[in-house]
Structure 1
Amino acid sequence: MAQNHSKSLPEAAVEAPALDRGLAVLEALDAQPAGMTLTEISTVIGGPKNSTSRLIQTLIAREYVVRDDSTMRFRLTGKLLRLGQPQVADVSLVGGSLDAMRALRDAVGETVQIGIPIGDEGVIIEKIESTQAVRIGVNIGLRFPLHNNAPGKVLLAFRHPKERERTITRIKLERFTDRTITDKAALRADCERVMKQGYATDWGEADEGIHCVAAPIRDRLNVLVATLWVSGIAGRMPKSTFASVAAEVMKAAGEIERRLRA
């Protein structure tokens, strides 16, 4: 468990202790995607429950934090991601993507998501849900690894070659299903394939029965800024459909790139 947060405060933070504790709450919740109780949060930041509760209520009012009434645990919303999302000129990534995401959802009938790299992970910053009765539920702010899913492979493959190799060397290839890539040589080969074909796929590599197809989104300098992907239930989106779905995903990604570059 973390020590009292105040012990390591930089000198300037002493002048704004409430702000510092509020940021400490956000950082604590960021480290625990499943959420934390009031007691856990106050222990981590080293503050009394009463003042911690007041901080949390302020963050809830500002829509940075939400409470699950069934578990009484607090977790982050996606607001911080919206504030920090990439922006090209006057167009935000999400703002420039929504029309293309909706068109892609209508074309393939499955859930569409967009994500950005955060260190050695990816994070979902927006979604357009499938209209199917049975659909894949995802949360904005969900983080995902780079080796076991289509969007993660895109975020890995289209990095600068030196940074891609450093990332592959650094990350742990945890097994999630029987089809998860756990060999680094195999992951390097998959990255080469992704770059050559322009899109990535996974067939139940992260979750049994869930298939994904993803493509990169690049800025006007051809630098990767995000990934766009479709997630579908295997029975509705079998491997035999990957090429046709990929064509739609790349088309939508191209539309987003044109909007960002305009």
Structure 2
Amino acid sequence: MLDAERQPLGIREIARRLALSPSIVQRLIRSLHQANFVSQDAETQRYSLGYRSLSLGSSLATEDNLISAAMPVLSRMTRELEVNAFLAVVSGDRLVYVLALQSAGPIAIRSASGTVAAFHSTAMGKVMLAEEGPRRFDELLGRGTLERFTEATVTDRKALAAQLEEIRNQGYATSEEENLPGVVAAGACVRNASGRCIAAISAAYAPHLQPALKLPQAIAATMRAANEISLSLGCPETLLKKAGPLAVVGGNVA
């Protein structure tokens, strides 16, 4: 029913249409929301399809402006740089993959649309964390110990918070073997017409298999791609960070 509806619906309207009691619909919606199959508008409290419904083959993939704007840009990036490209959004307190495009390059990263990614170890996640700000830091990361995926994963909250401040200022994030061994990624924000960060994209590759592709090049390409998507969504160019010269210090991007 939600897939066929273009406008978000409230609990009572859903209950009326399905001839169910509001209390039953509330329980069903709560479960679907926790699993990211539906999303809730923070202002109206109404519900619509969530991005995990992509895994079920919903109409969201063809109707969502974000996906329509991002798909050709990310496809081009995978062809030109032979990187794997991703688009993710924050749904509730989770980071959810919306698009996952595999390149013809030497590595394959299996992250299907609708699956959940970590905030603290991915380039996309760190970009979104930086934009959400300190107020949502613990809410999105949880109160427990941050999971260590590789030896390089940043699990110290203070160190991560300092990293996020840099990300906010520079307009991009990197993940250098922090999520998967041997894989490096660059991430940047996608902004809507008001300049708000509504999603993040990333480009991931394996430096030891693709030595010709340097991290500054991947960062610049990712920022350009994010800006192109943002402009197509109506974001003013003045609100976008440009991919300027990137200095390399001791093997790391400064």
User: Do Structure 1 and Structure 2 share a fold, with TM-score over 0.5?
Assistant: yes
| TM-score bracket for the superposition, by shorter chain length | 0.5 to 0.7
Alignment correspondent of 2:242: none
Give the structure 1 partner of residue 56 of structure 2. Answer: 77
Give 2:178's aligned residue: 205
Matched, 1:151 2:124: yes
Match of 1:125 in 2: 98
Within 2, Cα distance between the matches of 1:126 and 1:112?
Answer: 8
Structure 1 match to 2:73? 100
Distance 1:197 1:147 in 2: 18
Q: In 2, are the aligned partners of 1:110 and 1:232 still within 8 Å (CA)?
A: yes
Q: Which residue of 2 aligns with 1:219?
A: 192
Q: Give 1 or 2: higher helix fraction.
A: 1
Counterpart of 1:71 in structure 2 is: none
Select the residue among 8, 15, 35 that pairs with 2:19.
15
TM-score, normalization by structure 1: 0.66
1:31, distance to aligned residue in structure 2 (A):
4.7
Q: CA deviation at 1:234?
A: 3.6
1:139 aligns with 112
CA distance in 2 between partners of 1:150 and 1:199 (Å): 8
Matches of 2:148 and 2:211 in 1, distance apart? Answer: 22
CA distance in 1, matches of 2:212, 2:121: 16
Q: How does the TM-score come out when normalised to structure 2?
A: 0.67
Task: Report the CA distance between 1:236 and its aligned residue.
Answer: 3.3
| 1:261 to 1:177, Cα distance in 2 relative to 1, 3 A | same
Q: Output the CA distance in 1 between the equivalents of 2:211 and 2:138.
A: 31
Q: Note if contact 1:211-1:237 (Cα within 8 Å) is conserved in structure 2.
A: no
Asked whether the equivalents of residues 127 and 188 of structure 2 are also in contact (C-alpha less than 8 Å), the reply is: yes
Aligned in 2, Cα 1:25/1:177: closer, same or farther, shift over 3 Å? same
Residue 95 to residue 208, structure 1, CA distance change in 2 (3 Å): same
**Percent identical across equivalent pairs?**
25
Q: Render the CA deviation track for 1:21-76: whole Å, top value 9, x for unaligned.
A: 9x95994797599xxxxxxxxxxxxxxxxxxxxxxxxxxxxxx69xxxxxxxxxx5
- CA 1:78–1:189: 2 relative to 1, 3 Å: farther
Cα distance, 1:99–1:165 mapped onto 2, change above 3 Å: same
- Structure 2 residues not aligned, in runs of 5+: 1-11, 38-52, 236-254
Larger radius of gyration: 1
Which residue number corresponds to residue 191 of structure 1?
164
Number of positions where the alignment pairs a residue of Structure 1 with one of Structure 2: 205
Unaligned runs of 5+ in 1: 1-9, 34-63, 66-75, 86-91
Question: Partner of 1:212: helix, strand, or coil?
Answer: strand
* Cα shift at 1:107: 2.6
Tell whether 2:220 aligns with 1:255: no
Distance 1:171 1:239, change over 3 A: farther
CA distance in 1, matches of 2:36, 2:72: 32
Cα distance in 2 between the residues matched to 1:119 and 1:144: 13
